[in-house]
């Protein structure tokens, strides 16, 4: 790899931090946020089934309704240029016999029927035997949620590379927030649950120096 490109990427990772408050007067250009969303859309997922949805919450009144049940987003909700709720699919749509999975293979992947039959067998064995995901609805949701974090990481990484700050947020009351969003008509809780939030914008203050464990403490070679 070109050394200048390598440095550019590492500099972006050092630039990125969990920004708690943004400059509310600065808005991310449409083309830059489309770039961030495209990184999410192109992210990998297990079997390529894309178990996610991204809700971009720009309405100030809706943000105010979300705030009381999102203790980890008190500084970000009022100030972020863009605020995203990342949803993960539940067992209802991720089960190997679900209509969503079959429709995705036919109309998104555009696979022939014999290939669909083969993948369906692999997917059934994976869910029932290898990962035992069918043992509980929570197991299935947690598996889907893990995949949304791949998209989350890609969104934050590409944002940092173009000088945009971000903050991943898990500080919310899931049991209160999901009914609120369903009542607002923007979420179907039968098929989806909230996995994580992420805010984007431009920092007000410089962060503390980044601290991480040494590579020798976390990497083992065999």
Which residues, including other chains, have CB under 8 Å from residue 95's CB and lie 6 or more apart?
Answer: 101, 127, 134, 140
**Is 187 within the bounds of a domain?**
yes
**Is 68 within the bounds of a domain?**
yes
**Is 6 within the bounds of a domain?**
no
Low-confidence ranges of the chain (pLDDT < 50): none
Q: Domain range for residue 81?
A: 17-204
Q: What's the CA gap between 181 and 194, in Å, rounded?
A: 10
pLDDT in tens, 23-68: 999 999 999 999 999 999 999 999 999 999 999 999 999 999 999 9
Count up the domains in the chain and report the number: 1
**Is 221 within the bounds of a domain?**
no
**Is 11 within the bounds of a domain?**
no
Q: What's the CA gap between 93 and 97, in Å, rounded?
A: 9
Q: Domain holding 48: CATH number?
A: 3.40.109.10
pLDDT of residue 61: 98
**Is 33 within the bounds of a domain?**
yes
Burial per residue of 205-216, b for 16 or more beta-carbon CB atoms within 10 angstroms, e otherwise: eeeeeeeeeeee
**Is 89 within the bounds of a domain?**
yes
Residue 46 CA from chain centroid, whole number: 14
pLDDT of residue 2: 86
**Is 216 within the bounds of a domain?**
no
């Amino acid at each position: 790899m070109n050394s200048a490109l390598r440095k550019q990427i590492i500099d972006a990772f050092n630039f990125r931090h969990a920004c708690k408050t943004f400059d509310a007067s600065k808005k991310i250009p449409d083309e830059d946020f489309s770039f961030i969303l495209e990184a999410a859309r192109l992210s990998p997922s297990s079997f390529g089934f894309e178990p996610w949805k991204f809700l971009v919450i720009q309405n100030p009144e809706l943000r105010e309704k979300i705030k009381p049940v999102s203790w980890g987003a008190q500084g970000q909700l009022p100030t972020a240029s863009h605020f995203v709720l990342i949803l993960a699919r539940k067992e209802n749509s991720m089960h190997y016999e679900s209509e969503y999975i079959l429709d995705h293979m036919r109309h998104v992947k555009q696979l022939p029927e014999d290939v669909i039959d083969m993948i369906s067998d692999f997917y059934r064995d994976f869910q029932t035997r290898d990962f035992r995901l069918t043992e509980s609805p929570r197991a299935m949701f947690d598996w889907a949620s893990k995949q949304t974090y791949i998209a989350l990481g890609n969104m934050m990484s590409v944002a940092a590379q173009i000088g945009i700050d971000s903050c991943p947020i898990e500080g919310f009351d899931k049991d209160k927030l999901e009914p609120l969003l369903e009542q607002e008509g923007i979420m179907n809780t039968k098929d989806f649950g909230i996995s994580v939030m992420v805010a984007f914008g431009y920092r007000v203050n410089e962060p503390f120096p980044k601290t991480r464990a040494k590579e020798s403490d976390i990497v083992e070679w065999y």
